[in-house]
Amino acid sequence: MTVLPFQLPLIAILRGITPGEVDAHVDALVEEGFDAIEIPTNSPDWEDSVRRSVQRHGQHACIGAGTVVQPQHIDALLRTGGRLMVTPNTDPQLIQHAVAEGLLVAAGIATASEAFQALRAGAQVLKLFPASIHGPALVRALRSVLPPVPLFAVGGVSPSTLASYLSAGCQGAGTGGDLYQPGQPVQATRDNARAFRQAYLDYSA
């Protein structure tokens, strides 16, 4: 199985964050133990936010971009120094390009066919998306045929549902709307991060 370059298998998704807000929120996440940070490309000036986060925390956190759907996104991500690329879909050419550039790729999949396509293209992590639509039952079904590759549940995962995905066979999850909403106070991000981390620790105990 791929050895992940982060300790806590929860990817913080900061969709909609701005460069003016990103330092304080990422600081809080790192202080709460999060060491995988994703800033989606449909966030305002996302390249600047990724660059700032890499400069502050790149030595001890895996930081990158999500909602990567075109080659230009990869090129921009590389310029920021980010190491993580997350996609919402399975695009073999995009995955191959990113892997060739040395990025860790978490590729979005929803079927077994897409999962094997992504793996053949070189993706190191699979992202079941949207997880809340498919549920833990699909995780169990995929696990019965997939090789031992990290599988993350993303989309609608909350602290209260995290354990159901982990017990079904996921190694981790992407934490989106239940972690961060645009404009929320830093303390809310900290509190939500703490709840997610505790839910993971409770499951792993």
Q: Which of 21, 32, 47, 127 is catalytic?
A: 127
Active-site residue flag, 38: yes
Which member of 38, 47, 101, 114 is catalytic?
Answer: 38
- Measuring CA to CA, which residue among 198, 166, 204, 170 is closest to residue 32? 198
Q: Note if 114 is an active site residue.
A: no
Query: In DSSP terms, which residues pair with 63 in a beta bridge?
Result: 37
Element (H, E) at 189: helix 186-204
- Identify the CA nearest to 64 among candidates 20, 119, 19, 105: 105
Phi-psi region at 122: left, alpha or beta (left = phi > 0; alpha = psi -120 to 50): left
193 contacts 12 by C-beta, under 8 angstroms: yes
- Catalytically active residues are 38, 127
